[in-house]
Structure 1
Amino acid sequence: MKRLTKLLTIIFVALLCYQTNAQTIGIKGGLNLATLNEKDNDGTYSDNYDMNPGFHFGLTVDVPLNEFLSFEPGLLLTTKGMKYEDELIGLNLSGHANLYYIDVPLNLKATHEFGSGVKLYGTIGPYVGMGLSGKIKATLEFQGDEQTEEEEIKWGSNQDEDTFKRLDMGLTFGAGVEINSILLGLSYDLGLSNISTNQDNGMSVKNRVLKFSVGYRFLSKN
């Protein structure tokens, strides 16, 4: 894992150093609303999951390809996971999973300029994510008595010992507006990797994240 994280960081730094006279460098952050798509051959179990609020923060690089298209990689600290609440015959069960990742999105970006510093843009591309840490918290309430348990996420591929696989890959789609170097964006991460360590009966767990972003572009294209 450390080698892959180091490789992703080296690639991103290399992009920062490449053609700095043409590219732009930005910073962005914002709100995440995350959930997990969980199912097996018997059905889908995540229908009752709620969006778990979190955050993302990091850097982006915009490398122009032509007048309308650019390549926009990024390096983001981002949260994923889910929140749930259920009730059964007087039992109230609630909890959440908070997962922290380093994501490297590799987007193709199309931009249309309207003048007066206003631009609309759309993005699409793959992302690669590495799980850093996380925690699952569950609370059981019955007749006024409450019991809470917490468990640290264990990353790996051992079904008996680990919670989730560390590597996550998927697609990201986004759109937004840029006004005088200030960016307002909306994006959606569609996880394609099955991060479940339990493969019995076709078990599958995939990340889903809706992001609301605010950013600022520091360098202007020449």
Structure 2
Amino acid sequence: MKKIVLTMALLAGGLYLQAQQVRFGIRGGANLSSLGEYEHVLLANEDAQLEYKVGFHAGVFSQIYINQKWGLETGLYFTQLGGRDQDRDFDEDYKLNATANYLQLPVSVFREIQLSDKVKLFPSVGIYAGYGLSGKIKATGQIQNIDIAQQQDYFNDFAKRFDFGGTAGVQVGLGNLLLGAGYDQGVLRVNKQKANWDDNAYNSNFKLTVGYLF
């Protein structure tokens, strides 16, 4: 993983030296993240699927133009991922929330498409690497009349710290303002202990973004 991050940084640095234009900006927005088909054990015979939860991301980025239409975008973001589950029926009433805070480095190739004098379109595709900073998993409620009150450290007790995957998105440029949507899909297993039937945890994240270019 360290080699991947180093390669991404060297690639960005090499293109920076050859760039025709470089612009810097800030970006933030909302996340809707999940850990896929993974089911977290609550009791010996009960588990919870860590489905979509709301989080956020914020950071800085740069657009490095190689020519008039094509370029490379990279940045550094604090992003909040994880998953949640809630169930209420005749013998279950519980909530589970897993929150993981990552430092994320994406590198994407983008194309600038001029739609009008004031509007541009920026579709992009690339990869990202992430490092887990902190997080927790908290469960409260009752299952079969048994109280549950569990709390775990996300990375010490459950997850690997390194994450890697693909990213794709599109942005609309309105002057210096950028409005966008994207999706990240992790390809490295998150959970330290491999799950049965290969239903392991993988980070996935839909995101809405607002950015400003200086």
CA contact (8 A) 2:122 2:172 kept: yes
Runs of at least 5 residues in structure 1 that lack an aligned partner in the other structure: 156-161
4+ residue segments displaced more than 4 Å: 3-21, 142-147
Normalised by the length of structure 1, the TM-score is 0.80
Deviations 1:37-88 (A, max 9, x none): 1349xxxx87x54421111011111111222211111111101100101235
**2:205 corresponds to 1:209:** yes
CA distance in 2, matches of 1:68, 1:10: 22
SS at match of 1:154: helix
Task: Specify whether residues 124 and 81 from structure 1 end up closer, same or farther in structure 2 by C-alpha distance, changes over 3 A only.
Answer: same
Native 8 Å contact 2:12 2:74 kept in 1: no
Q: Percent identity?
A: 31
Corresponding residue to 1:199 among 194, 197, 200? 194
Distance 1:54 1:8, change over 3 A: farther
Tell me the residue number matched to 2:66.
65
TM-score after normalising by structure 2: 0.82
Segments of structure 2 that go 5 or more residues without pairing to the other structure are 40-46
* Equivalent position of 1:54 in the other structure: 55
Give the deviation of 1:113 after TM superposition.
1.0
Quote the residue 2:36 is aligned against.
Answer: 37
Q: 1-side partners of 2:64 and 2:56: how far apart?
A: 25
Mark the CA change 1:142 to 1:28 in structure 2 (over 3 Å): closer, same or farther. Answer: same
1:111 alignment counterpart: 112
How many residues matched?
206
Q: Please show how residues 163-202 of structure 1 align to structure 2 within 5 Å.
A: 163-201=158-196, 202=198
Hey, what does 1:89 align to over in structure 2?
A: 90
- 8 Å CA contact retained: 2:33, 2:52: yes
The AA in structure 2 aligned to 1:215 is G
